[in-house]
Amino acid sequence: MRLLRRFPPRKYRKSLTQGAIATFIFSILVVTGVWYFLRVPPQTPRRRHYSPEEVSYFLEVGLGSEYNGRDRTVKKWQGEIRVGVFGSPTVADLEAIATVVAELNELTQGIHLVKDRSHPNLKVYLVPPEQFRDYLPDAIPGNYGFFWAWWEDHQIHRAIVLISTVEITQTERNHLIREEITQSLGLMRDSWRYQDSIFYEGWTDTTEYTQLDRAVISLLYEPEILPGMSEAEVLEAVRQINLE
C-alpha cells in the first residue's frame, strides 16, 4: 500500500507544529494497523447453531458418495489442500476457481486450500470430455463435470476434478467448477430438494452458495464432525455443538 500526502508549495511550508506531529504519528499508526491487519491470518469461523433443516440436508449430501450409497459415513480432508489447475482454463475459469477457494477457506475449519501446481493433492483439469479418461480412467461418460476422491480411514487425501471446456457456457462452467470442487471436499451426494442449491441433482447454472449450502459446508468442517462418523454420531455431535 502506498499513501500519498499532498504538501503545500515550498514557499508556504512551515515547521512542524505540535498538531502536525500528532497528525503524522496518527498516520503512522493507521498504516501500521493496516499492515498488521493484512498479515494476520483469517480468524476461525464463528461456531453457529445448526437448524433441523440444515442438519437434514447435511445428512443427505454429506454421508456416503454418489456411486457408493452403502457407506454412509463422513469423509473429509484434514490439513492443507494443494490445488493445481491443468488443461486449458480461461481467465474466467481461473477467477472462478480462486473465488471458490477463497469462500471455502472462509467457511471451513481444519483445512486450508492453497494454489500449488507443483505438488497438488487436488487436481483440477479443464479439458474436453473425451479427454476425461486420460486423467481419470474411472470417469463416467456423459458428464461435463466430474470428481473422484480417495480416502484412507475415511480421511480424504487426494482428489481429481474434471470440467469440460466445450459445449457449455462460461456460466455453466463456473457452476461446475464450484459444484465439483465443493463436492470433492466430502459433500459427495446430490439432491432434488433445493433447485438453487449447488448440490441440486438437476442441471442448473447457479454460481453462488445458498445460505443452506454454506451451513452444510461449515458443518462438515466443524472440529466435532470426525471422519468415519455415522448418522447417529453426527446427530449427537451437532447436539453438542448447538448446546455451546
3-state secondary structure 160-223: EEEEECCCCCHHHHHHHHHHHHHHCCCCECCECCCCCCCCECCCCCCCCCCHHHHHHHHHHCCC
pLDDT of 65: 78
For 187-211, write each residue's pLDDT tens digit: 999 999 999 999 999 999 999 999 9
Higher pLDDT, 236 or 71: 236
Question: Does residue 151 have a pLDDT over 70?
Answer: yes
Question: Does residue 185 have a pLDDT over 60?
Answer: yes
8-state DSSP, 45: P
Fold for the domain defined by 52-243: Collagenase (Catalytic Domain) (3.40.390)
Mean pLDDT, residues 36-56 taken together: 65
Q: Please report, for residues 113, 203, 215, 227, 243, the alpha-carbon distance to residue 109 in angstroms, rounded to integers and kept in the order given.
A: 11, 30, 13, 14, 19
Higher pLDDT, 15 or 82: 82
Question: Does residue 215 have a pLDDT over 80?
Answer: yes
Mean pLDDT, residues 177-190 taken together: 97
CA 28, 29, 35, 38 torsion: positive or negative? Answer: negative
Mean pLDDT, residues 25-53 taken together: 51
- Report the b/e string of 87-98 with b at 16+ CB within 10 A: bebeeebeebbe
* Pairing mode of beta strands 155-164, 145-152: antiparallel
Q: Report pTM.
A: 0.80
pLDDT of 149: 97
Mean pLDDT, residues 111-116 taken together: 98
Question: Does residue 42 have a pLDDT over 60?
Answer: no
Domain ranges of the chain: 10-39, 52-243
pLDDT of 230: 97
Confidence grade of residue 68 (pLDDT, cut at 50, 70, 90): low
Question: Does residue 135 have a pLDDT over 90?
Answer: yes
Check: CB of residue 160 under 8 Å from CB of residue 51.
no
For 121-132, write each residue's pLDDT tens digit: 999 999 999 999
